[in-house]
């Protein structure tokens, strides 16, 4: 029996097993009469496949070959009708094309049309399995080839459209890449500029660092000198301040002692003034008595006169001594005040010197820490 397998819509990679194939496979012992009767009953059968007892293909006879040889030859029916089909295969001995079922339609069509002219339209034997064979008519193969070509063209058009889309996408990507490259170039230029600026800043920082190092070394040298000179200077200052304080104290003591002596001088002057008054009174009394006495006591009047002169000079001397004592007292008081002010100044200078020495010691400590 023959069976047609309707193929689905063919794709670019369609195989022979996907096509409409004829299932007409008989054993080599089948009588020719049965085959002829089957061909007459089913006009769609284009041939028959003859296999041996092991289901191996012995040959393929086309419909035309069977009917022409058996019906057109003299005594064809009498010779072959009752005999097995293998006898006709041996007598006919015509080659056939056997292809695997997984063969591509385009490749199969190419091989089918490369056959000799007398067999170019013969059906193609398709092997689906180890013992399964089918017949493929050339018109079916041609239609399949056309469908595959159409599918290929459609696929090519789709691929062309996809390629066009890809080209557009590539063009866009190219533009983006170009823009990205330009951005990268700008960023590269900016980075280069930043690197140059950083290099300049680094050099400046290095120069500042070196300058700071030199300045630090110089400061350390100066600090050492200041420390040495300052300590000696402060020591000398403290010694001088102590000497000034001591001298100021001595001046103050001397001024106070001078004030006491001046007070004693004032007491003595008061006593001299009092004695001069008594002498003046005595000379006055003596002059009065000399005037009342006789002229014999005239010499006593001269003495009284001298006593008055002595009292006048004593009074004058006491006045001069008082005036000198007052001036000395004023100067002593001024000296005492100056000594007290100098003492206060010296005390302030002493405190400031101590503060300066403490600040210098702190500076020395900071510089030593900075050097470490």
Predicted pLDDT of residue 135: 93
Q: Measure the CA–CA gap between 18 and 150, rounded to whole angstroms.
A: 16
Q: Say what percent of the chain tops pLDDT 70.
A: 69
Predicted pLDDT of residue 5: 43
Sole residue written with tokens 């094309």: 97
Q: Measure the CA–CA gap between 48 and 66, rounded to whole angstroms.
A: 9
- What is the per-residue pLDDT across 220-252, written as a single tens digit (0 to 9) for each? 676 666 566 556 665 666 666 566 667 666 667
Q: Is 188 exposed, middle or buried (0-12, 13-18, 19+ CB in 10 A)?
A: exposed
Predicted pLDDT of residue 124: 92
Mean pLDDT value of segment 126-151? 90
Angle at which helices 105-112 and 138-292 cross, to 10°: 140
Predicted pLDDT of residue 94: 75
Q: How confident is the model at residue 197 (pLDDT cuts 50, 70, 90)?
A: confident
Mean pLDDT value of segment 339-348? 69
Mean pLDDT value of segment 124-133? 90
Q: How confident is the model at residue 158 (pLDDT cuts 50, 70, 90)?
A: confident
- What is the per-residue pLDDT across 50-89, written as a single tens digit (0 to 9) for each? 998 888 888 888 888 777 766 655 555 666 677 888 878 8
Q: Which residues is 132 bridged to in the sheet?
A: 129
DSSP, collapsed to helix, strand or coil, labels residue 31 as strand
End-to-end CA distance of the chain: give it in Å, rounded.
111
DSSP-derived letter for residue 9 is S
Q: Measure the CA–CA gap between 171 and 160, rounded to whole angstroms.
A: 16
Six token digits for residue 227: 């420390």
Backbone phi and psi for residue 123, each to the nearest 5 degrees, phi listed first: -60, 155
Sole residue written with tokens 């004693």: 264
What's the pTM? 0.45
Predicted pLDDT of residue 263: 73
Q: Which of 306, 313, 274 is nearest to 290 (CA)?
A: 306
- What is the per-residue pLDDT across 255-299, written as a single tens digit (0 to 9) for each? 677 677 667 777 776 777 777 677 777 777 766 766 776 544 556
Q: Measure the CA–CA gap between 347 and 339, rounded to whole angstroms.
A: 12
Q: Are the C-beta atoms of 247 and 343 separated by less than 8 Å?
A: no
Q: Measure the CA–CA gap between 341 and 36, rounded to whole angstroms.
A: 161
Q: Which residues is 129 bridged to in the sheet?
A: 132
Mean pLDDT value of segment 359-370? 67
Residues 6+ apart with CB under 8 A from 17: 101, 102, 126, 128
Angle at which helices 138-292 and 298-371 cross, to 10°: 170
């Amino acid at each position: 029996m023959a069976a047609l397998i309707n193929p689905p819509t063919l794709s670019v990679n369609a195989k022979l097993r996907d096509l409409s194939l004829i299932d007409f496979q008989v054993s080599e012992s089948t009588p020719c009469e049965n085959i002829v009767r089957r061909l007459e009953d089913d006009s769609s059968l284009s041939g028959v496949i003859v296999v041996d007892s092991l289901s191996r293909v012995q040959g393929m006879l086309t419909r035309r070959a069977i009917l022409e040889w058996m019906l057109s030859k003299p005594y064809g029916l009498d010779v072959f009708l009752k005999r097995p089909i293998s006898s006709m295969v041996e007598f006919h001995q015509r080659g056939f094309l056997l292809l695997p079922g997984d063969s591509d339609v385009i490749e199969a069509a190419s091989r089918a049309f490369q056959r000799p002219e007398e067999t170019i339209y013969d059906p193609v034997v398709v092997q689906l399995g180890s013992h399964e064979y089918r017949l493929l008519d050339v018109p079916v193969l041609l239609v399949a080839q056309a469908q595959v070509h159409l599918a290929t063209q459609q696929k090519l058009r789709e691929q062309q459209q996809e390629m066009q889309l890809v080209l557009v996408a590539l063009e866009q990507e190219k533009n983006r890449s170009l823009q990205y490259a330009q951005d990268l170039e700008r960023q590269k230029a900016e980075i280069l500029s930043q690197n140059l600026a950083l290099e300049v800043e680094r050099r400046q920082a290095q120069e500042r660092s070196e300058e700071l190092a030199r300045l630090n070394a110089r400061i350390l040298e100066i600090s050492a000198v200041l420390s040495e000179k300052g300590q000696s200077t402060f020591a000398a200052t403290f010694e001088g301040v102590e000497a000034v304080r001591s001298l100021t104290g001595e001046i103050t003591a001397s001024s106070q002692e001078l004030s006491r002596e001046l007070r004693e001088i004032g007491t003595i002057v008061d006593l001299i003034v009092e004695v001069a008054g008594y002498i003046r009174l005595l000379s006055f009394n003596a002059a009065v008595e000399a005037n009342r006495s006789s002229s014999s006591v005239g010499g006593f009047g001269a003495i009284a006169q001298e006593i008055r002169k002595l009292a006048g000079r004593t009074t004058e001397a006491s006045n001069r001594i008082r005036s000198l004592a007052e001036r000395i007292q004023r100067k002593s008081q001024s000296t005492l005040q100056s000594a007290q002010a100098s003492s206060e100044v010296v005390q302030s200078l002493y405190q400031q010197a101590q503060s300066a020495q403490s600040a210098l010691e702190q500076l020395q400590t900071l510089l030593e820490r900075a050097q470490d």
